[in-house]
A and B are shown apart, each in its own frame.
Chain A
Amino acid sequence: MNPFQFQQQLHSRRAFLGNSAMGLGSLGLATLLGQQLNASDSHGGLAGALPATHFPAKAKRVIYIHMLGAPSQHDLLDHKPLLQSLDGKKAPRSILPERSAFLNTNPNPPLILGSPFKFEQVGGNGLWVSELLPHFKTIVDKTCVIRSMQTDQFNHAPAELLLHTGFPVQGRPSTGAWVTYGLGSENSDLPSYMVLLSGSNLPAGGTADFGSGFLPSVYQGVRARSKGDPVLFLSNPEGMKRDDRRRHLDALGALNQETLKDFGDPETATRIAQYEMAFRMQASVPEVMDISKEPQSVLDAYGAKPGHGSFANNCLLARKLCESGVRFVQLFDWGWDSHGTGPGDDLVHALAGKCKQTDQPVAALIKDLEQRGLLEDTLVVWTGEFGRTAVMEARGGNITFKGRDHHPGCFTSWIAGGGVKAGTVYGQTDEWGQKVVENPVHVYDFQATLLHLLGMEHTRLTYRFQGLDFRLTNFRGNAVKGVMS
């Protein structure tokens, strides 16, 4: 067997056998070295690849909210009075992005676009917040707003992939996969990495945004739905009883164990674990995914309606999943790509509409987590994949609707919860909101920071594949101390 296969087998064996009572337990070493040796895990959950976190972990789990399409920072959290005062004037060349997706389709000189929304200074940190986010104003002191985010990519799919996998091309593991690979699961009855989608589209990066790349596929994000069958293809076919399914899986498991012994392919171990997980999920998922039993006051706070496939429902589900010990909950919400080609994607109608849908549930999620004491060790992330231009896109010269083009030079994200220095505003952009002038936070720095908050040094969470020790942050990134308490 070549070293790579061997390593690969090793890792998945660690993951699979580590908790299956026939692995390290038999050596008695696991307990000796303070490792998890857990009777309740003897039939399932994933163990982390790290025997211990590199630092004491401030956050134990993550809710990662990705507003797909890239929300406009100028209209939400990065207030630029200069743009408003020069609205409609011809833009100086210096504020045009080097590369853009659609700006060059405008035959006329680009015009400065001031935000059409009113801003108000709120919170102890004096952040200017748009009128589109009235509920965010109530949680601003619980968050750390980073206005100096940067990325390398200016189109959705590569930028999403860069944000989630550290590489603009498909094939690398996503942040959630890395985190669950490193830390393992807290609940053997549920997947440790779950994905909830809302809005009309899948991420542009496709399922690779939450894939496991070259990590064993057991670390892949499991997509759940807030409407209909929570997880597709999970229910038993009609006529099959749970006992039958058990016998069926036992026989299949025995055969798979033989194969694992003969060929040592880690994917076999993954498959066995997945079957067992699916069996337990048949009981656990419908329960945790059912929000109809939540009190009406909670449903109202989120604006959630049982049976709908809404972002509000997903926020409530994210809290429930976290409470049940799911390590990484990924929310994707499509519809933030405000180009201004029509009322369906402009600032005044479409962006305002997206904010109306999401502002209240996000604020409710933060408050709900806090009220339950979960915000102490849950990390909440809110971000897009890049920023938007200070000038109006005016695709094809049409200026009827206000919109902005893609811009990778700066954008705004915020984080809250375990280990986050709440009530801070980090980094600054220039008066045009065009480039970062203070404390830049590249996507790689952002990733390194998230891992740091979870107790992991990003340079040391690695996986050997094709002879290289890969890591989430590629060969870049520094954890940003200024956003951590």
Chain B
Amino acid sequence: MQDKSDLLLFIGRFHPLIVHLPIGLLSLQPVLELAAWKFKKPGLDTACRINLGLCAASAVGAVLIGLCLASNGSYGGDSFALHKKLGIALAAVLCLAACLRSLSREERKPLAAWGLTALGLGLLTPVGHMGGNLTHGPTWLTEYSPAWLPMPGKEAPKAGAAANAWLDTVKPILQKNCTECHSGKEAKGDCNLEDPKLLLAGGKSGKPGIVPGQPEQSEVMRRILLPAGHPDAMPTEGKKPLSGDEVLALSHWITSGALFDAAKAGEEIAPAPAALQGLVAAGAYLRPYSEGSPLLCADFTRPGCKLAEALAALPSAAPRIAELKLARSALSDADLEALPVLPELSVLDLAGTAITAKGLAALSRQPKLRTLNLAATTTDDSSALGLAGIKSLRRVNLANAKLSKNGAIELRRARFGDEAITVICPAPVLKLSDKSNWTIVKVSSEETNFNLGAYPARQAIDGKPETLWTTRFAGGHNDPPPHELILDLGDSTIFQGLKLLARQDGNPNGISAKIEVFVSDDPKVFKDAIIVAEPWKGAPDAKAWLPLRDVRFPQIATGRYLRLVFSADIRGNPWATLAELDLIQE
């Protein structure tokens, strides 16, 4: 259904067409007047009158149609108001001039009419220019002006470190495609896409123009992506749609938060492209650490990456590197020593490289290094222990490195507590006897909360020094000592003592102060203790309690069942733990 305003608008859209009629006629007027004055032919004088009359009539028509166009309120602002006022004034001037001209006598010069015509011609330029700006946008004339011609409001695009996503990429795209209509106070649909605030706010529809981070919620993107022919589609019918790259650029800019501020976005958060150019040229693979983060993950190991060049280019990109992958590359100690301080580096992958203690020592300069992958390197005990000095370090992968049996333990021990390091490494090799036929008859307390990583009693006899038995502790449920553990050795056994291995993770909890040992052939009946052992008495720290402790009995013991009773631990806490248990048999 068409209503009145639609009809007015239909007529109104002929304004840009009709308006050229008075312009043409008015431009012709001085020529006719000049000819009439010079050749003094009556016909020419009549032509002047008719032409000016037609000119005035068409000007009035153009004004009326123009008012129709403005009737739906889609135009506004100072520039429009002035265009309207001057346009009406121009039509009035021309009407007056036409009247005077038609009343003028042939023998007298029509000076008043000439004066008004000249005034009309003078008004024509600003009115026309303003009209043009309303239709084509304020940059229409200057947009393609040659560089040597200085133009107001036109700046040279910036590049390199000074570049800013909004000013140098997004705004130019909008200026090219949108701001012809959507800028200034006369913006169509009250939608001004040049001013950041107004761009975010959107136009008459009430929907936000840009929702930072969400292109799909942004009205600007919605309209750009609508198919041509849809009433809401932008740019309007007949104008060139945005190119795919332009749409992508807008979309990326919105997704990344739609930042306008060069000072905030450009210097700190958004990268200065020049800083990364070196890495890119060297063939390094860069990807954002995660959404919304200015940091990067850099990979120097992909085919085509020139390691030396990439390392040389690292300093300028240093503040932005969060992860660095150098695994299996030709990295040398010297390279690692020359590595700049990377203030945000948290993950460093050096697996399979030829680095040694010398290079690793240089890593202490990296303030936030958290995860270090040294798998398949020649890292040995001493260089691993050196890593304990990197206070930020929380995880080291030393699988397949050259650690001795206790290297990892030493490293863990050196950093036991709040700043503990998780060390990934093969289990230390200890010579332990086969206990596959042993079983647990009874245990008074064991931690079996699987979600915590459980510590059941069978881990004390599983042959693995890295696993342990602990009494209950999860959730504050401590069982009071003494704790009892009864083992079935499978068959009646003759032995001279026990080998006890304390927990190997450096944790001092549950290192028993006293262990009573009983041996019997009946799991229900144990007579006197064969020994009351204090294997870790006087051990000042983990270093002293880590090795296997021999507990020799005063006499040879014989029996199938072994009963151990654990007191409180050496610090008076209620827990008992044991990593491994062996027999001394000679």
Taking Cβ atoms with an 8 Å cutoff, the residues of A that contact B are 1-3, 6-7, 9-10, 13-14, 17, 23-24, 26-29, 31-41, 50-57, 121, 123-126, 186-189, 323, 325, 370-377, 423-425, 455, 482
Contacts and interface: CB of A to CB of B under 8 A. Distances in A.
A393 to B, nearest CB: 32
B288 interface: yes
B236 interface: no
B375 A56 contact: no
Interface in B325-341: 327-328
Interface centre among A2, A38, A423 (most CB of B within 10 A): A38
Contacts of B270: 32-34
14 contacts: A9-B244, A24-B249, A28-B159, A29-B169, A33-B165, A33-B271, A36-B287, A38-B285, A39-B282, A55-B291, A56-B289, A124-B454, A325-B302, A371-B400
B304 A32 contact: no
Contacts of A28: 159, 163, 168-169, 273
B291 A53 contact: yes
A482 B452 CA distance: 11
Given A3-B226, A33-B256, A124-B467, A10 B283 contact: no
A10 B351 CA distance: 39
Contacts of B273: 28, 31-32
B145 interface: no
B55 to A, nearest CB: 46
Contact of B245 (A26, A34, A41, A57): A26
Nearest to A184: B287
B252 A7 contact: no
A39 B375 contact: no
A37 to B, nearest CB: 6
Given A2-B227, A32-B169, A56 B290 contact: yes
B293 A52 contact: yes
Contacts of A425: 450
Contacts of B165: 29, 32-33
A55 B352 CA distance: 27
A425 B456 CA distance: 15
A6 to B, nearest CB: 6
B303 interface: yes
A17 B247 CA distance: 13
A60 to B, nearest CB: 9
A372 B376 CA distance: 6
A279 to B, nearest CB: 15
B373 interface: yes
B280 interface: yes
A26 B320 CA distance: 23
Given A27-B245, A28-B159, A33-B256, A373 B399 contact: yes
Interface in B354-405: 371, 373-376, 397, 399-400
B453 A124 contact: yes
Select the residue from A2, A29, A41, A126 with max chain B CB neighbours within 10 A: A29
B245 A124 contact: no
B227 A370 contact: no
A7 B247 CA distance: 10
B280 to A, nearest CB: 6
Interface string B279-312: 0111111111111111010010011110000000
Contacts of A7: 225
A56 B255 CA distance: 17
B355 to A, nearest CB: 13
A29 B159 CA distance: 11
B459 interface: yes
A189 B302 CA distance: 10
Nearest to A460: B291
Contacts of A482: 451
Nearest to B259: A33
Interface residues of B, number: 70
B393 to A, nearest CB: 14
Given A10-B247, A27-B245, A125-B453, A52 B291 contact: yes
B349 A373 contact: yes
B245 A373 contact: no
Contacts of A38: 280, 283-286
Contacts of B299: 186
Given A54-B291, A373-B351, A126 B163 contact: no
A201 B262 CA distance: 59
Top 8 nearest A-B pairs (CB, nearest first) are A373-B351, A373-B375, A40-B304, A52-B288, A371-B400, A40-B283, A31-B273, A56-B290
Interface in B210-257: 225-228, 244-245, 247-249, 252-253, 255-256
A29 B227 CA distance: 26
A51 B256 contact: yes
A354 B481 CA distance: 48
Contacts of B450: 125-126, 424-425
Nearest to B295: A34
Contacts of A37: 276, 280, 286
Interface of B: 159, 163, 165, 168-169, 225-228, 244-245, 247-249, 252-253, 255-256, 270-271, 273, 276-277, 280-294, 296, 299, 302-305, 320, 322, 327-328, 349, 351-352, 371, 373-376, 397, 399-400, 424, 448, 450-451, 453-456, 458-459, 467
B252 A51 contact: yes
B292 to A, nearest CB: 8
Contacts of B287: 36, 52
A256 B287 CA distance: 30
A31 B276 contact: yes
Contacts of A26: 245
Given A54-B290, A423-B453, A32 B163 contact: yes
Contacts of B305: 40
B352 A39 contact: no
B290 A57 contact: yes
A51 B454 contact: no
A2 B450 CA distance: 55
A55 B399 contact: no
A238 to B, nearest CB: 29
Interface centre among B244, B286, B302 (most CB of A within 10 A): B302
A40 B279 CA distance: 11
A24 B352 contact: no
Given A14-B248, A33-B270, 8 more contacts: A24-B248, A28-B163, A32-B273, A33-B256, A39-B304, A55-B291, A124-B453, A424-B453
A373 B226 contact: no
Contacts of B292: 52
Contacts of B276: 31, 37
Contacts of B327: 373
Which of A56, A121, A123, A126 gathers most chain B CB within 10 Å?
Answer: A56
Contact of A40 (B252, B303, B374): B303
A57 B287 CA distance: 11
Contacts of B285: 36, 38, 40-41, 186
Contact of A35 (B163, B169, B252, B400): B252
B456 to A, nearest CB: 6
B288 A10 contact: no
A455 B322 CA distance: 15
B487 to A, nearest CB: 16
A439 B106 CA distance: 105
B225, B252, B299, most chain A CB atoms within 10 A: B252
Given A32-B270, A40-B302, A51-B252, A372 B280 contact: no
Contacts of B451: 424, 482
Contacts of B302: 40, 186-187, 325
B371 to A, nearest CB: 8
Contacts of A189: 303
B305 to A, nearest CB: 6
Given A28-B273, A39-B283, A40-B303, A6 B227 contact: yes
A371 B322 CA distance: 24
B249 A27 contact: yes
A33 B272 CA distance: 9
Contacts of A31: 271, 273, 276-277, 280
